[in-house]
Amino acid sequence: MTEIKRRDFLKVLGLTGAGTGLVGCGQEPAKKLIPYLVQPEEIIPGIPTWYASTCRECPAGCGVHVKVREGRPIKVEGNPYHPVNAGRLCARGQAALQGLYNPDRITTPLRRLAGTGEFEPIDWDEAEAVLAGMLRTMRSEGRSDWLYLITDGAAGTLDRLFDTWMGAVGSPNRVIHESFDVEPLREANRLTFGVAEIPRYEIDGAELVVSFGAGFLETWVSPVQYARGFSASQTFRDGRAGRFIHIGPRLSLTGSNADEWVAAGPTGAMLIALAMARVLVAEGRAGARGAAVRPLVEPFTPERVAEAARLEAETIERLAHEFADARSSVALPPGFEGTDRNATAAHVAVNLLNYAAGNVGRTVRFGPNVVRRRAARVARMQEMVETMRGGGVQMLLVHGSDPVHTTPAALGFADALASVEMVVSFSSCMDETAARAHLILPDHTPLESWGDHEPEVGVRTLMQPTINPIFDTKSTGDVLLSLAARLGGEVAGSFDWPEYRAYLRDSWQEVGREFAPGSDFEVFWRGALSAGGVWRQVGTQSVTLSPAVAGVSFDEPTLDGDASTPYALLTYPSPVLYDGRSADRPWLQELPDPVTKIVWNSWIEMHPEVAERLGIGTGDVVAVSSPHGQLEVPAFVYHGIRPDTVAIPIGQGHEHLGRWARGRGVNPLALLPAAADEASGASAWLSTQVALAATGVSVTLVSTQGSHDDLGREIAEVVSVAAAAEAEEHAREEIERAPEALVEAAEDADPKSPYRWGMAIDLSSCIGCSACVTACYAENNIPVVGAELCAQGREMAWLRVESYYEHVADGAHGNGHGVSQAADDESAPLVVHLPALCQHCGNAPCEPVCPVYATYHNPEGLNIQVYNRCVGTRYCSNNCPYKARRFEWFDYEFPFPLNLQLNPDVTVREKGVMEKCTFCVQRIMKARNDANAEGRDVRDGEVTTACAQTCPAEAIVFGNLRDPNSRVSRLARSGRAYHMLGELNTRPAVTYLKAVSRGSEEA
C-alpha cells in the first residue's frame, strides 16, 4: 500500500475544511415569529418597562426599580427616589433575580411520602383541604394552641394578616424568628432612654465615626443606607475627610475601611465604651450631662478596664480625647457578631458614650426609627422546642425563615421537628426547614408578589409583581385567606377578601389617610404603586437619660469553655450570603468574599501566630471543637484578627437549598450554645471558645486574588489628608486657570467624536462591598464557572474588587495609619479596596497583538471586543497588564429558568471567545439612541454603567471625558488622580483617585 503523501493529506484536509466552512456560513435557520394575541398596553417589544418594588433580600427594605423586558425581569436597580437607598443596591439585592429564576425552586406544592425523605407533588386544592381539615379537627378538639407559626420580623400587611389570622384560628403561638435581630439595641435604648426603638445613626453628619464592631457597611440594620452616609462623611472632599476608628477583635469588611483599627479583645467593647465615657466625664467634657453619667461610669477607669479589654489604658484615653475633640462624632454599637451574653449592657455603654459626648439628638437620632417586629427571645424558642418535643405542637407553619439553619444546633430545633405531626413550610426553595417539612406550600418570590414593607417610621413601601408566577406557586397571604374560607364560620367571617391583593389594598386605606388625607384613594394607590411607596420626613424625638439605666450591671460576659479551648469564636453573617438564605445564588457564591476573596467555601480566620502554633497554613483543614459541637474547616491565615480569636462566617453549610449551596462549607452554628444575651433575650453569637487541632488534610481554598501586596508597584495608592489637600488645592487652581481644558485621555478618540467615554473611581469612597461585581454579572450575561475553574483562574468577572494592604505613601506622614496593637507593619494593615476592570486604554496593549482585528479602539474611545471576529488566540489577554480580559474556555450553561434573566441587549458569548468590560456599551448605545431621537448629544449623567449605577458609596462615576464640565472630567483632573500602572503609557480611560488615610497622629 502506498503511503498517503503529506501533500495529498493536506489537500484532503483542506477541502473537507472548506466543506465544513461552507456549512458554517449558511444563514441561521429562521424560526417562528410569534405575535401577541392581545398586546398588553404597557409592553412595547424591545423597550423595557420599569416597575417600582421593594427588595426583600434582607430586612433593610431598599426600594428597587425592576427592569422588565417582554414580561421578564432582567435587572434590579435601586429606586433613586427612595429614602432608604437612594438608587443604590448591594450585591444581595442585585442577586434577587437569581432567587426568582433559581432552577432549584420548588415548582409545585409538595407532600412528603410517609416515612421517607421524598416528596410528591399535590395540587393546591388538595393541600389546602388537608390543612383545613386538620385545623378544623384541632379547633373542634380545643387544641387550637397546638398550632405554631414561625415568621421573620418584617413589618407590614402580611405581618398583620399573620396576627389576625392566628387570632381568628385561636392560637397565641406566633413566634418571630429573625436570624440576626437588633433586640440588644432596642432593650439598651429602653434602659438608657426609656425608648424601646432602634434610632438612625446619622453617619453622614459625623466627622469621627467610632464603631464597636457593628458591620454597618455589610449586614447591620440597613447597610446600603449606612454605606451612603459613610461615603458622605468619609470621602475626601474640600480638603477634609472624616475619620473612622474600628474597635473589635477582627478586621471585618466594615473595619477594613477604618483609618485606625483598635484590636481590642473579643468582649472588650463594653468596657472600652464605659472607660471612654468616664474619661469624658472626669475631664468635664460631657457638660451638664456629666452629672447624670458620672455615677454609672465611675468605676471604669481606663487603667482598670485595660486588662479585661485587652487594650492599653493610654489608647482608651486617646480614643476618648479624639471622640470629645471631634466637631461631630458618633459611636456605633457592637452589632450582631459582638452580641455576647451581656450585649445589652455593651449597647448601654455605647449609648452612654454617645450621650456623654452630646451625640444623642444630633448624630443618634430617634424619630426615624427602624421598624422591626420584636424577635422571640431565645428562652421562648427553647420553650417552643420543649413543647415540640413533648408533642404539644401538632401543626407548625414556617414562613420567611429557616430556623433549622439559623438557630444553633444546640437548641435542638431540627430534632424537635420530628415530633411535630404536621410541619408546613411556605418556602419557595428547599431550605433546611422545608426539607424536613411534611407539606410545602411554595410562596411566590418577592419579585412575583404583591406586598408591602415598613423599613422605618415614615416610610411605607409597596411590592408589586414584575412577572407572572413562573411556577405553580401561591402567595402565602392567599393561602391564609383561602384556609380561612375553608374553615368557615366566624373565621371565614373575619376575612371576606377574595385575595391577598385586595386585602393589601384595603389595608393601605389607612396609609392613604395618614399620608394623603382627603385625597382620592384610587389616585393615592396608583401614585404609591408607581413610586414604590410613600414616605415623609420624620422629626427628631428628644430623649433623656432614664432612671432605669442605673440598674444595668456591667458584668463582663462569659464565654463557654476553659483553658483547653483557648480561642474565642467569632461567628459573623457573611457580607455576601447573609444568614445563608442567599447561598443558592450562583452569582453570590462566585462573588469573592470582600475580605478574604474566597469563593464557594467556608473558612476559619486565624492570626499567623495561631497558624504557626498549629503548624498549618491557609487551606489546611483544622478541627474546631467547642463544648457544644465540632466541625472541620480550612484555615485562612489573616493578619486582620487577634491571636486570641478565630472567626467563621455564617451562610454556608447547607444540606439542601439547591445545587449551588448543597454540601458547601460549614455552618458554625454547630459550635454554638443556645445562649442568649440575658437582658434582651437575643441569640448570643459570641458565647463560646474553641480548641483547634490540625488534621493533616489540606484543600484548595479558592481565592481570586493571589496577593494582597502590590509589591511596591503603586497599584492602589494612599495619601495622607495633608498631601491630598495640597494636591487638590493645586488642581483646583489649575482648573480655575483653564476651566475648559481636558485630560490627556480625552484625546484618544476620533477627532470628530463628541465623546471619549471614561470613568473615575474614588478609592477614598470605595468600601469594597462588591455590589458592582454582581451588578456587572446581571447586566452583561456573565457566566458563573464554579469553584474548580475559579481555582484555575478562569472566573469570568469583568470587574473585580482587589484589596491591598497599603502604607501611606507620603514622607511627611510615614506611619499615618495606626493600629494601637501594632507590632510591625504586617500586622497593621490599612486596606485599600480597588475595583479593577478594563481600563479602555487609549494606547491599548491588547489591540496591536490581535491577528484578526477583533479588539480595536473605536471612534468614541472604547476598547471594543468583537465576539464574532474573535478566534480565541488569547494574545490580547497575555498582553494586558491589568488582567482585565476573560476567555470563554467552555460553553457555560444558564439552566432554565436562569436563561430568562439574560439581557437581550448583550450577546451571550460562546466557547472560544475573549471578552471583557465593555463600559456597558449597550447602555451607551441606548443613551446615544435616545439623544439621536431628540437631535442632540448625550448629556452628562444620562448614561452610566451598571457598576456605577449600583455603587452604594458612589465611588464610581462614568461619563464623557470630552465634556470639560462632566463629573468624570472634573474628577479626572483632581489632585488625587492617577492611572493604574500609568508608567506603561497605556493611557487608560479609567482614572483612580487616591485613597486618603487619616492616621492617629492627625486626630
Partner 1 sequence: MLTPRRAFTISLWGAAGVALLAFVSQVPESRRPATGGAVLAAAAVAQGGQFSLDPDTLVGWGRGPVQPIFFSHRRHAGEYEIECLYCHSNTDISPWASMPPVELCLGCHRVVKAASSEIAKLRGYAERGEPIPWDRIYKVADFVQFNHGRHVRAEVECQECHGEVEEYDVLWGWSPLTMGWCLECHKEPGEDEAKLAAAARNAARYTEEGRESHGLYPRSIDSQYGVLKGPIDCAACHY
Phi, psi angle pair for 718, to nearest 5°: -130, 140
If binding is defined by CB under 8 A, does position 5 make contact with partner 1? yes
CA gap 578, 584 in Å, rounded: 12
Nearest residue (CB) to partner 1, 382 versus 753: 753
The string of DSSP letters for 867-883 reads TTT-----HHHHH-TT-
Q: How far is the CB of 474 from partner 1 (least distance, A)?
A: 23
Stretch that binds partner 1, among 16-24, 333-341, 512-520, 660-668 (CB under 8 A): 16-24
Cell matching residue 603: 473558612
Peptide bond into 897 cis (omega under 30): yes
Among 94, 231, 918, 997, binds partner 1 (CB under 8 A): 918
Hey, CA dihedral for 987, 993, 995, 996, is it positive or negative? Answer: positive
Nearest residue (CB) to partner 1, 16 versus 700: 16
Q: Are 465 and 100 in contact (CB under 8 A)?
A: no
Nearest residue (CB) to partner 1, 119 versus 757: 757
The string of DSSP letters for 219-274 reads TSS-HHHHHHHHHHHHS-BTTB--EEEEESSB--TTGGG-SEEE---TT-HHHHHH
Stretch that binds partner 1, among 12-20, 192-200, 252-260, 687-695 (CB under 8 A): 12-20
**CA within 13 Å, CB half, 290:** 13
Per CB under 8 A, which of residues 822..851 are in contact with partner 1? 842-844, 847-848
Nearest residue (CB) to partner 1, 106 versus 938: 938
- Interaction pattern, residues 982-1001, with partner 1; x per rule: CB under 8 A: -----x--------------
Q: What amino acid occupies position 661?
A: A
Nearest residue (CB) to partner 1, 179 versus 865: 865
Stretch that binds partner 1, among 309-317, 383-391, 717-725, 919-927 (CB under 8 A): 919-927
If binding is defined by CB under 8 A, does position 946 make contact with partner 1? no
Q: How far is the CB of 989 from partner 1 (least distance, A)?
A: 12
Q: How far is the CB of 107 from partner 1 (least distance, A)?
A: 23
Nearest residue (CB) to partner 1, 483 versus 749: 749
- Interaction pattern, residues 259-278, with partner 1; x per rule: CB under 8 A: --------------------
The string of DSSP letters for 456-523 reads ETTEEEEE--SS--SSS---HHHHHHHHHHHH-HHHHHT---SSHHHHHHHHHHHHHHHHSTTS-HHH
Among 485, 614, 866, 898, binds partner 1 (CB under 8 A): 866
Phi, psi angle pair for 894, to nearest 5°: -120, 80
If binding is defined by CB under 8 A, does position 929 make contact with partner 1? yes
**CA within 13 Å, CB half, 886:** 26
Q: Are 750 and 860 in contact (CB under 8 A)?
A: yes
Q: Are 614 and 693 in contact (CB under 8 A)?
A: yes
- Interaction pattern, residues 446-485, with partner 1; x per rule: CB under 8 A: ----------------------------------------
Among 178, 677, 748, 762, binds partner 1 (CB under 8 A): 748
If binding is defined by CB under 8 A, does position 754 make contact with partner 1? yes
Per CB under 8 A, which of residues 870..909 are in contact with partner 1? 905-908
If binding is defined by CB under 8 A, does position 750 make contact with partner 1? yes
Per CB under 8 A, which of residues 22..51 are in contact with partner 1? 22-23, 26-39, 44-47
Nearest residue (CB) to partner 1, 371 versus 837: 837
Range list of H helices, 738-818: 771-779, 787-791
Q: Are 834 and 715 in contact (CB under 8 A)?
A: yes
If binding is defined by CB under 8 A, does position 15 make contact with partner 1? yes
Q: How far is the CB of 674 from partner 1 (least distance, A)?
A: 55
CA gap 599, 622 in Å, rounded: 19
Distances (CA, A) of 65 to 55, 81, 932: 9, 10, 25
Nearest residue (CB) to partner 1, 521 versus 875: 875
Q: How far is the CB of 753 from partner 1 (least distance, A)?
A: 5
Nearest residue (CB) to partner 1, 375 versus 850: 850
Nearest residue (CB) to partner 1, 860 versus 954: 860
Range list of H helices, 80-217: 91-94, 96-100, 124-140, 157-169, 183-193
Say how many C-beta atoms besides its own lie within 10 A of residue 553's C-beta. Answer: 9
Distances (CA, A) of 681 to 184, 220, 340, 675: 8, 18, 11, 9
Stretch that binds partner 1, among 75-83, 247-255, 745-753, 804-812 (CB under 8 A): 745-753
Q: How far is the CB of 741 from partner 1 (least distance, A)?
A: 11
If binding is defined by CB under 8 A, does position 943 make contact with partner 1? no
If binding is defined by CB under 8 A, does position 711 make contact with partner 1? no
- Interaction pattern, residues 781-820, with partner 1; x per rule: CB under 8 A: ----------------------------------------
CA gap 979, 962 in Å, rounded: 18
Virtual CA dihedral for 930, 932, 938, 944, nearest 10 degrees? 30
Q: Which of 594, 899, 893 is nearest to 773 (CA)?
A: 594
3-state secondary structure at position 168: helix
- Interaction pattern, residues 205-234, with partner 1; x per rule: CB under 8 A: ------------------------------
Q: Which of 298, 257, 423, 152 is nearest to 830 (CA)?
A: 257
Q: How far is the CB of 678 from partner 1 (least distance, A)?
A: 60
Range list of H helices, 330-441: 343-356, 378-389, 403-406, 413-417
If binding is defined by CB under 8 A, does position 942 make contact with partner 1? no
Nearest residue (CB) to partner 1, 178 versus 860: 860
Among 379, 932, 965, 1001, binds partner 1 (CB under 8 A): 932
Q: Are 796 and 821 in contact (CB under 8 A)?
A: no
The string of DSSP letters for 209-228 reads EEESS--TTTTSS-HHHHHH
If binding is defined by CB under 8 A, does position 4 make contact with partner 1? yes
Beta-ladder partners of 676: 683
Q: How far is the CB of 44 from partner 1 (least distance, A)?
A: 5
Among 71, 167, 493, 859, binds partner 1 (CB under 8 A): 859
Q: How far is the CB of 887 from partner 1 (least distance, A)?
A: 17
Match 458620672 to its residue by C-alpha cell. Answer: 294
Nearest residue (CB) to partner 1, 13 versus 548: 13
CA gap 937, 332 in Å, rounded: 46
Phi, psi angle pair for 571, to nearest 5°: -115, 130
Nearest residue (CB) to partner 1, 821 versus 922: 922
Q: Which of 241, 206, 255, 232 is nearest to 86 (CA)?
A: 232
Question: Under rule CB under 8 A, how many of the chain's residues touch partner 1?
Answer: 69
Nearest residue (CB) to partner 1, 210 versus 799: 799
Stretch that binds partner 1, among 77-85, 87-95, 481-489, 852-860 (CB under 8 A): 852-860
Among 541, 821, 858, 873, binds partner 1 (CB under 8 A): 858
Q: How far is the CB of 2 from partner 1 (least distance, A)?
A: 6
Residues in touch with partner 1 (CB under 8 A): 1-5, 8, 11-12, 15-16, 18-20, 22-23, 26-39, 44-47, 747-754, 842-844, 847-848, 856-859, 862, 864, 866-869, 905-908, 918, 921-922, 925, 929, 932-933, 935, 987
